[in-house]
A and B are shown apart, each in its own frame.
Chain A
Amino acid sequence: EAQVTQNPRYLITVTGKKLTVTCSQNMNHEYMSWYRQDPGLGLRQIYYSMNVEVTDKGDVPEGYKVSRKEKRNFPLILESPSPNQTSLYFCASSSVRDRGLETQYFGPGTRLLVL
């Protein structure tokens, strides 16, 4: 089954304790992206990757890191989480055709609470 998986699905942590949220897709998609969703703000893009070893900033990259060492995986790293990073996080992947991105497939989401 074609899917995007994220782990963990729920996480409560404390300020400053490094954490990683994993994202994996099995569709051989070139493009992967991370979003955060906060009430009234819609989805905001954190980082994206057009292919292996190629990453770029979205609208809200501060406080986050990513890496793309393999095509299927795109982990999101919070080196020193702060309470303002409490949010719902989605990973997504997409094929990239000649003209650009196709539709995105979203993971189930990770709800993060930073105390």
Chain B
Amino acid sequence: EDKVVQSPLSLVVHEGDTVTLNCSYEVTNFRSLLWYKQEKKAPTFLFMLTSSGIEKKSGRLSSILDKKELFSILNITATQTGDSAVYLCTTAPIREQGGKLIFGQGTELSVKP
């Protein structure tokens, strides 16, 4: 059975710290791995990763996919209280496999002042 596992499930850090969130997967044949940020509302898109080894960056956030070791990481440097949220990762299938998405449980990040 396909699954996506995120770790840690929760994390408390102080402003300025750097954090690394992990997403490992056991999914055969997917098109992309996606990261979302969820504050007290709907998830918002962060990154889409389709190729192994190519880092995506957006400000203090970056992410990379390793298709050989079957994981992705999301890095946040110089964390701010506004980074407090649940971070979700999911795999999106290739077209021939339809539209079933598999989400991890999420990592709840809390950044203290």
Residues of A in contact with B (beta carbons under 8 Å apart): 31, 33, 35, 40-45, 48-50, 56, 58-59, 90, 96-109
Q: With the chains together, A87 CA to B35 CA distance in Å?
A: 22
Question: Do B100 and A42 touch across chains, with their CB atoms under 8 A apart?
Answer: no
The answer to whether B101 has its CB under 8 Å from any CB of chain A is yes
- Chain A residues near B104 (CB, 8 Å)? 42
Assess whether A104 is in contact with B31, with CB atoms less than 8 Å apart: no
Report whether B32 and A100 are in contact in the complex, using a CB–CB cutoff of 8 Å: yes
Asked if A101 meets B93 with Cβ closer than 8 Å, knowing A42-B88, A109-B42, the reply is yes
Q: How far is the CB of A92 from chain B (nearest CB, A)?
A: 8
* Majority secondary structure, A binding face: strand
- Considering only residues 13-38 of chain B, those with a C-beta below 8 Å from chain A are 31-32, 34
Q: Would you call A45 and B101 a contact (CB within 8 A)? A: yes
Instruction: Output the least CB separation between B98 and chain A (Å).
Output: 6
11 further contact pairs, Cβ within 8 A, besides A48-B99, A100-B32:
A35-B103, A40-B105, A43-B103, A50-B99, A58-B101, A59-B100, A97-B95, A99-B95, A101-B93, A109-B41, A109-B42
Task: Give the docked Cα–Cα distance between A109 and B44 (Å).
Answer: 12
What is the CB-to-nearest-CB distance from B102 to chain A, in angstroms, rounded to a whole number? 8
- Partner of B98 from A50, A98, A103, A105 at Cβ < 8 Å: A50
Contact B101 A33 (CB under 8 A): yes
Task: List residues of chain A with CB within 8 A of the CB of B102.
Answer: 45, 59
* A99 interface neighbour in B43, B45, B94, B103, Cβ under 8 Å: B94
| Closest A residue, CB atoms, query B94 | A100
The interface residues of chain A lying within 8 Å CB-to-CB of B45 are 103-105
CB <8 Å contact, B34 and A100 = no
B42 touches A107 (CB 8 A): yes
Least CB distance, A6 to chain B, in whole angstroms:
9
- Interface residue B72 (Cβ < 8 Å from any Cβ of A): no
